[in-house]
Amino acid sequence: MSRSTASAGDLRSPSQRAITRFVVLAAAAAVVAAVPVLGLASPAQAHNYLVASTPAAGETLTELPEEFSITTNEALLDLGGEGSGFGLQVKDADGLYYGDGCVSVTDATMSTPAAIGAAGTYTVIWQVVSADGHTVDDEFTFTWAPIAETPVSAGSSSAPVCGTTPDSSATAAPEGDTPDAPTAAADADLTDVLWIGGAVVAVGIAIAVTLVLTSRKKK
Ligand SMILES: [Cu+2]
């Protein structure tokens, strides 16, 4: 494999050629290592994302629709058809929740019967199960400014659970009582990708070093 003579135009010393070879091999290894990392990262990018909602983020809502809804880019995964893993909460500026906590999922849309309190700023907190089985959650705000008299629902201090009677005591919910499990799951996803990516890069470097050492021994 070793060449007996350098070509006439190659004035580099053997050690320079070894360094060049190492750099080329290391670059090649990095490219090879990057391919599976990108492959692993793509499922995370395939998560469903919000494409439309009622009300829209930042909208000033003047009439109460029949339903509040979230629509994502592709069909949601509603295993068993019970909306497990799905949630759509509507919360006012005082931290009170409105609605019955029930959601229905049809194709790419999750909806809940609309209920709301007095005029003001509201937050929609939603969570869906992506096509790949992972949950995605986010929130946005909208302004409620009814132009006609609208029945005002009683808010509950805790997030309503479908099928149970909401706690209608109108006391503000304590801070930070929204579920944080989806965030933890997203962190775990990212950690996995970084860990696997790091391991693949390390293996790639080890292969490059081995190739360089092997080619040196053969001289
Ligand atoms: Cu995923």
The string of pLDDT tens digits covering residues 98-123 is 999 999 999 999 999 999 999 999 99
Give distance in angstroms: CA of 45 to centre of ligand 1: 8
Q: Average of pLDDT values for 138-149? A: 96
Is there a contact between 122 and 54 (Cβ–Cβ < 8 Å)?
no
187 pLDDT above the threshold of 70: no
Give yes or no: residues 103 and 77 share one domain: yes
Residues 138 and 62 occupy one common structural domain:
yes
Here the tokens at position 6 are: 């350098």
| Domain co-membership, 62 together with 165 | yes
| Residue 156's CATH number | 2.60.40.1220
Task: Provide the token pair at 216.
Answer: 């040196």
Q: Tell me, what's the pLDDT at 202?
A: 72
Does residue 202 share a domain with residue 123?
no
* 189 Cα–ligand 1 center, Å: 7
One domain, residues 208 and 116: no
What distance in angstroms lies between residue 140's CA and the mean position of ligand 1's atoms? 22
**29 Cα: distance to centroid of ligand 1 (angstroms):** 27
Same domain, 29 and 126: no
Phi, psi (5° rounding) for residue 52? -160, 155
Peptide bond just before 55 cis, omega within 30 deg: yes
Q: What is the pLDDT of residue 66?
A: 97
CA 111 to centroid of ligand 1, rounded, Å: 22
For residues 72 and 101, is the Cβ–Cβ distance under 8 A? Answer: no
d(CA 107, CA 65): 20
Residue 197 shares a structural domain with residue 140: no
**Ligand 1 centroid, distance to 40 Cα (angstroms):** 10
> Do 128 and 192 share a domain, yes or no?
no
With b meaning 16 or more CB within 10 Å and e meaning fewer, what string describes 12-40? eeeeeeeeeebeebbeebeeebeeebeee
pLDDT tens column, 46-104: 799 999 999 999 999 999 999 999 999 999 999 988 899 999 999 999 999 999 999 99
**pLDDT > 80? residue 13:** no
Distance 204 CA to ligand 1 centre (A): 26
Rounded-to-integer distance, Cα 160 and Cα 98, Å: 8
The CA angle 176-59-122, to the nearest 5 degrees, is 25
Q: Is residue 5 part of a domain?
A: no
CA of 46 to the centre of ligand 1 (A): 7
- C-alpha 131 – ligand 1 centre gap (Å): 8
Residue 2 domain-assigned (yes or no)? no
Instruction: Please check whether residue 117 lies inside any domain of the structure.
Output: yes
Query: For the residues 140-154, what does the mean pLDDT come to?
Result: 94
Instruction: Tell whether 61 and 139 lie within a shared domain.
Output: yes
Q: Residue 75 Cα, ligand 1 centroid: separation in angstroms?
A: 14
Domain shared by 109 and 193, yes or no = no
Looking at the domain assignment, is residue 3 inside a domain? no
pLDDT at 172 over 60: no
Strands (E), 101-151: 104-106, 109-113, 120-129, 135-144
Q: Is 183 domain-assigned?
A: no
**The pTM of the whole model exceeds 0.85:** no
Residue with tokens 């003001």: 120
CB-based burial label for 76 (10 Å; 0-12, 13-18, 19+)? buried
pLDDT tens digit string along 17-53? 776 676 666 666 665 555 555 555 454 457 999 999 9
Whether residue 7 is contained in a domain is answered as no
- Domain interval for residue 84: 50-178
- Written as six digits, the tokens of 45 are 């990018």
* Cα–ligand 1 centroid distance for 126 (angstroms): 17
Asked if the structure places residue 40 within a domain, the reply is yes
How far are the Cα atoms of 67, 96, 98, 144 from residue 118, in angstroms, in the given order? 17, 11, 11, 8
Q: Token pair for residue 207?
A: 């292969």
Residue 185 Cα to ligand 1 middle (Å)? 10
The answer to whether residue 6 is domain-embedded is no
**Domain total in the chain:** 2
Alpha carbon of 197 to ligand 1 centroid (Å): 16
Higher pLDDT, 113 or 217: 113
Give residue 43 CA to ligand 1 midpoint distance, Å. Answer: 5
Report CA(160)–ligand 1 centroid distance (Å). Answer: 27
